[in-house]
Amino acid sequence: MPESTLNIPLDKLPRHIAIIMDGNGRWALQRGLPRLAGHKAGTENLRRIIRASVEFGIQYLTIYAFSTENWGRPPEEVQGLMGIVQDVIDRELEELNREGVQLRHIGRLERLEPRLRGKVLKAIERTKNNDRLILIVAFSYGGRDEIVWAIQRMMKDGILPENVDDEMVSRYLYTAGVPDPDLVIRTSGELRISNFLIWQAAYSEWYFTPTYWPDFNKDEYRLALEAFAHRERRYGKVSSSELQESNA
């Protein structure tokens, strides 16, 4: 059973949180800094939010770090982001490991250059027995790409059309075995899904905030979780209180 430092009943705590860490570029622009400075500040913040997630007792955290579309950014920004990931693995891996964080990856690793790919695979291997927090890094990830890949593999495996259902599709996604996100947070005021977990987030609750990612701190994270605790999740059905009233 997870332990939490939050004042929220455990059954009202999301098991899986997914975050679109948006606004690094605008955060930097606002300060007259290059975009990469924004990504560095965003990475510092990511470290704080990972620690807070462990403390809050969150079991799964998925972060959108680099989309399939992000390959189209200027080469120096793409290179810079790759360098940041490399640095993070070099500097933070042992600490994350000590804290019980298990690293996983979703997306197209084959597009990364071999050295970085090797580091990522090693980090995954190193942390595979940890279970305090499962940190899923969506890197070179796209939701449509994931669904196409799943369909291709189902066809290769000779799955019969009549055997394809929701559960089967879920099993063929990168996130097989991971519960769907309960809560998706998007920073920076954008109100879009941007090809992130488009299958898995079908019934997720959303929390949007104008705060740019580098400034999304632990207090605001706590507010997002408190807001979630007050949501009523109906999954397309009617609320239980309405049902009781209509049966009375």
Residues that bind ligand FPP (CB under 6 A): 21-26, 39, 42-43, 46, 65, 70, 84-85, 88, 137, 139, 188
CB 118: neighbour CB atoms within 10 A? Answer: 11
CA distance 51 to 96: 9
Instruction: List CB contacts of 69: < 8 A, sequence separation 6 or more.
Output: 142, 195
Instruction: List CB contacts of 59: < 8 A, sequence separation 6 or more.
Output: 2, 15, 16, 133, 134
User: 101 phi and psi, to 5 degrees?
Assistant: -90, 130
> Considering 7, 70, 165, 247, which one is annotated as catalytic?
70
Q: Is 20 helix (H, G, I), strand (E, B) or coil?
A: strand
Sort 159 into a burial class: Cβ within 10 Å, 0-12 / 13-18 / 19+. Answer: middle
The DSSP bridge partners found for residue 139 are 66
Cβ-based nearer residue to ligand FPP, 84 or 169:
84
Cβ-based nearer residue to ligand FPP, 42 or 142:
42
Q: Is 126 helix (H, G, I), strand (E, B) or coil?
A: helix
> Considering 22, 24, 45, 182, which one is annotated as catalytic?
22
Quote the distance between the C-alpha of residue 124 and its chain's center. Answer: 16
CB 134: neighbour CB atoms within 10 A? Answer: 19
Cβ-based nearer residue to ligand FPP, 96 or 154:
96
Q: Could you tell me the smallest distance in angstroms from the CB atom of residue 208 to ligand FPP? A: 14
The conformational region for residue 100 under phi > 0 = left, psi -120 to 50 = alpha, else beta, is left
Q: Could you tell me the smallest distance in angstroms from the CB atom of residue 159 to ligand FPP? A: 33
Relative to beta strand 205-208, strand 183-186 is parallel
Q: Could you tell me the smallest distance in angstroms from the CB atom of residue 5 to ligand FPP? A: 24
Q: Could you tell me the smallest distance in angstroms from the CB atom of residue 26 to ligand FPP? A: 3
Cβ-based nearer residue to ligand FPP, 63 or 183:
63
Cβ-based nearer residue to ligand FPP, 93 or 151:
93
70 catalytic residue (yes or no):
yes
Q: Could you tell me the smallest distance in angstroms from the CB atom of residue 54 to ligand FPP? A: 16
Active site residues: 22, 70
